[in-house]
Copies of this chain bind each other. A is one copy, B any other.
Amino acid sequence: MSKLTDVPKRILIGRALRSDRLGETLLPKRVALPVFASDPLSSVAYAPGEVLLVLSIAGVSAYHFSPWIAVAVVVLMFTVVASYRQNVRAYPSGGGDYEVANTNLGRRAGLTVASALLVDYVLTVAVSISAGIENLGSAIPFVVEHKLLCAVAAIVLLTLMNLRGVKESGKLFAIPTYVFVGAVFLMLLWGAFRGLVLGEDMNAPTADFEIKPEHGGLAGFALVFLLLRAFSSGCAALTGVEAISNGVPAFRRPKSKNAATTLAMMGLLAVTMFCGIIALAMATDVKMAERPAQDLFLDGSPVGADYVQHPVISQVAAAVFGDGTFLFVILAVATALVLFLAANTAYNGFPLLGSILAQDRYLPRQLHTRGDRLAFSNGIVLLAGAAALLVWIYAADSTRLIQLYIVGVFVSFTLSQTGMVRHWNRLLRTERDQAKRRHMIRSRAINAFGAFFTGVVLVVVLVTKFSHGAWVALLGMVIFYVTMSAIRRHYDRVAEEISAPEGPTDDTVRPSRVHSIVLVSKVHKPTLRAVAYAKLMRSDTLEAVSINVDPDETRALREEWERRGITVPLKVLDSPYREITRPIIEYVKGLRRDSPRDAVSVIIPEYVVGHWYEHILHNQSALRLKGRLLFTPGVMVTSVPYQLESSEAARKRARRRADWSAPGMVRRGPVEKRTKQSAGRAGGRAEDGGGSGNDA
């Protein structure tokens, strides 16, 4: 299984491996499940608690509604899983919600989904890290005492790991995920055994607490609203379900079928764990409150600001296994690890989505290159920065962060499912095979129901959560949307500006002759090389140009020029202010004025050095000069590099960087496959036009 992770890298470097051997690198279901399910499964660590929290507003009596809310969440989960099983079958390329919405509903819908997903990734990190810290804190008090610090430290750690490019392996995901699932099921079974068979009375640490309802005796509309809010919170259990639909290419054949099966397995596991935890929480009398300090009472007095409200899963574990026991600690640590893995998936997903958006020119084109380290790093740092900011603003409180979380998820659910309905409609228009048509109609029905249900949930979430923080997520989406639209407009405008007219090319872009000038300051190897290269180019005229910043040096240069018998004429430009750039620019402009139809080629000897601090010491004037020359029409600028010995270090570094493989390779599947598919995708968008030259 460890080979699994090396292979994508070997492909990237060695290029010897062809698609017939790629089979080995694909994920079997037993590995795919943990790789893709850490995000959705980890959400059962906080979703049940959120339901109880909201219900507590109406007092502990409202806890009796929790099974009904669990049922609603289960129905929703089955709906979403069933819907995404259709996606997986229809888009074996691993389309993902963005592609589905973009292809079927148009650019605006696609961009909306993309904005929602980008916000979602940020929140996945913020929520998962915060919840992970809270779970770890139930076993290690230090962690919860320094919650914000630990949460930020965890983000920094994950960020550094991802920036360095940790090799990802199935094992890395498999062990904590299976330990977590195993421990939860053990807890559920052992709890059921103790409660139902042995008839023991298990008590959560908060069993003796009382809840002072914020709004006691709610009824009618207010109660319904509260139940809807609780349901919205419970929907946090659904986050991350869509991940598999992005990762179909990583599955073993039959890809779609395996992915669909894995989805179903994941849904079943999540639902069982979610319901089981709620049931045990009821059985062990867990009490949670939105504002524990003032609403939780022990022996008639409020617990106060020092009280730390532990997550439901850890309270249940304390009741079933006993607080601080070996199994309790194992579960707490595994929960935290799975939550951190869930956060890590966002680190992989964010740059990948960025590269897809860059391909559609919604983001800078350079993000387009797959697994490019620099682009990847920028994405990672942006993600980590935004997540850390949220964690800091919300003091690493997962409950408050979750209010922001669910909007984005359901925006993309709804639009993606709506897109799928369109997809089936389009296929049905041409499909004549009755068996296939029946199948499509069935799929369409599932997706339509999915779109409807998730749409309703989206409205419920928006209504119940808006003032609790959902507006922040919406604002984030709007910012992403506006920025990406602006970038796209810019690229479109440039594409139009530079598009070449038909027919024979314009005269203005075709000069008749070329004057070359080589810049020299001293006679040394870089200069000699530049002069030699300049001579090779056989331009119409060639002269060497030097700036006289110091008469003595200039005299020495002229003497050595003659002594060495260099055949290129040397021209000296005066510069009483020791400037370099201005005299050259003016000279070049003068040449252009004298013969406007000619081009000027400026040849600059440049040092190549190996260390960043050497960059500061060299070539700054050359760089600035080049920058200015580029604004001068009719000029081309040639660098003739001279590699200093120290440049070897940089060459090695560059090679290392090129060989670097981006995290998240495992879940994206082999490169070869994806490229073909993305080419297919690009074909469908040929009408987008233009593109932008060397930016590609």
| Chain B residues whose CB sits within 8 angstroms of the CB of A607 once the complex forms | 494, 498, 692-695
| Chain B residues whose CB sits within 8 angstroms of the CB of A619 once the complex forms | 694-695
A431 interfacial by beta-carbon distance below 8 Å: no
Select which of B605, B635, B683 is within 8 A of A694 by beta carbon: B605
What residue of chain B has the Cβ atom nearest to residue A626's Cβ? B639
- Indicate if the CB atoms of B491 and A509 lie closer than 8 Å: no
A276 interfacial by beta-carbon distance below 8 Å: no
A448 interfacial by beta-carbon distance below 8 Å: no
Cα distance A645–B493 in the bound complex, in angstroms: 10
What residue of chain B has the Cβ atom nearest to residue A640's Cβ? B636
A606 interfacial by beta-carbon distance below 8 Å: yes
Given contacts A505-B528, A509-B525, contact A553 B691 (CB under 8 A): yes
Convert A653-672 into 0s and 1s, putting 1 for each residue whose CB lies closer than 8 angstroms to a CB of B: 01000100000000000011
A301 interfacial by beta-carbon distance below 8 Å: no
Of the listed stretches A51-59, A220-228, A285-293, A610-618, chain B binds A610-618
A326 interfacial by beta-carbon distance below 8 Å: no
What residue of chain B has the Cβ atom nearest to residue A624's Cβ? B374
The tally of residues in A whose CB lies under 8 Å from a CB in B reads 113
Among A27-63, those with CB < 8 Å from B are none
What residue of chain B has the Cβ atom nearest to residue A608's Cβ? B630
Of the listed stretches A90-98, A144-152, A515-523, chain B binds A515-523
Cα distance A608–B630 in the bound complex, in angstroms: 7
Interface centre among A372, A607, A631, A644 (most CB of B within 10 A): A631
A696 interfacial by beta-carbon distance below 8 Å: yes
- Indicate if the CB atoms of B498 and A514 lie closer than 8 Å: no
Given contacts A372-B579, A532-B505, contact A521 B682 (CB under 8 A): no
What residue of chain B has the Cβ atom nearest to residue A633's Cβ? B643
- Indicate if the CB atoms of A369 and B578 lie closer than 8 Å: yes
- Indicate if the CB atoms of A679 and B622 lie closer than 8 Å: no
A420 interfacial by beta-carbon distance below 8 Å: no
| Chain B residues whose CB sits within 8 angstroms of the CB of A522 once the complex forms | 690-693
Cα distance A607–B683 in the bound complex, in angstroms: 26
- Indicate if the CB atoms of A637 and B635 lie closer than 8 Å: no
- Indicate if the CB atoms of B370 and A621 lie closer than 8 Å: no
Cα distance A273–B654 in the bound complex, in angstroms: 64
A628 interfacial by beta-carbon distance below 8 Å: yes
Given contacts A500-B523, A527-B693, A694-B604, contact A643 B621 (CB under 8 A): no
A429 interfacial by beta-carbon distance below 8 Å: no
- Indicate if the CB atoms of B672 and A576 lie closer than 8 Å: yes
What residue of chain B has the Cβ atom nearest to residue A512's Cβ? B536
Q: How near does chain B come to A498, taking the closest CB pair, in angstroms?
A: 4
- Indicate if the CB atoms of B533 and A621 lie closer than 8 Å: no
A208 interfacial by beta-carbon distance below 8 Å: no
- Indicate if the CB atoms of A636 and B636 lie closer than 8 Å: no
- Indicate if the CB atoms of A509 and B532 lie closer than 8 Å: yes
- Indicate if the CB atoms of A552 and B686 lie closer than 8 Å: yes
Cα distance A639–B636 in the bound complex, in angstroms: 6
Of the listed stretches A119-127, A168-176, A543-551, chain B binds A543-551
- Indicate if the CB atoms of A671 and B490 lie closer than 8 Å: no
- Indicate if the CB atoms of B497 and A644 lie closer than 8 Å: yes
Select which of B536, B620, B624 is within 8 A of A514 by beta carbon: B536
Among A573-592, those with CB < 8 Å from B are 576-582
| Chain B residues whose CB sits within 8 angstroms of the CB of A578 once the complex forms | 368-370, 675
- Indicate if the CB atoms of B576 and A675 lie closer than 8 Å: yes
What residue of chain B has the Cβ atom nearest to residue A369's Cβ? B578
Interface centre among A364, A564, A637, A694 (most CB of B within 10 A): A694
- Indicate if the CB atoms of A617 and B365 lie closer than 8 Å: yes
Select which of B364, B616, B658, B690 is within 8 A of A582 by beta carbon: B658
What are 24 sample pairs from A and B whose C-beta atoms fall under 8 A apart? A365-B620, A369-B579, A369-B621, A497-B645, A498-B525, A509-B525, A511-B533, A512-B536, A514-B533, A522-B691, A527-B693, A550-B682, A552-B683, A580-B696, A601-B638, A603-B636, A608-B631, A617-B695, A630-B641, A631-B650, A633-B643, A635-B641, A637-B639, A638-B639
By Cβ-Cβ distance, the 10 closest A-B pairs, closest first, are A366-B620, A630-B641, A638-B638, A498-B524, A509-B529, A514-B536, A622-B694, A552-B683, A510-B532, A521-B696
Question: 12 new A-B pairs (CB below 8 Å) besides A551-B679, A636-B638?
Answer: A364-B617, A371-B577, A372-B579, A494-B644, A522-B691, A526-B693, A550-B678, A550-B679, A603-B636, A607-B692, A622-B695, A637-B638
Give A contacts to B, CB under 8 Å: 12, 364-366, 368-372, 374, 487, 490-491, 494-495, 497-500, 505-506, 509-514, 519, 521-529, 532-533, 536-539, 547, 549-553, 556, 564, 576-582, 599, 601, 603-608, 614, 616-622, 624, 626-631, 633, 635-645, 647, 650-651, 654, 658, 671-672, 675, 678-679, 682-683, 686, 690-696
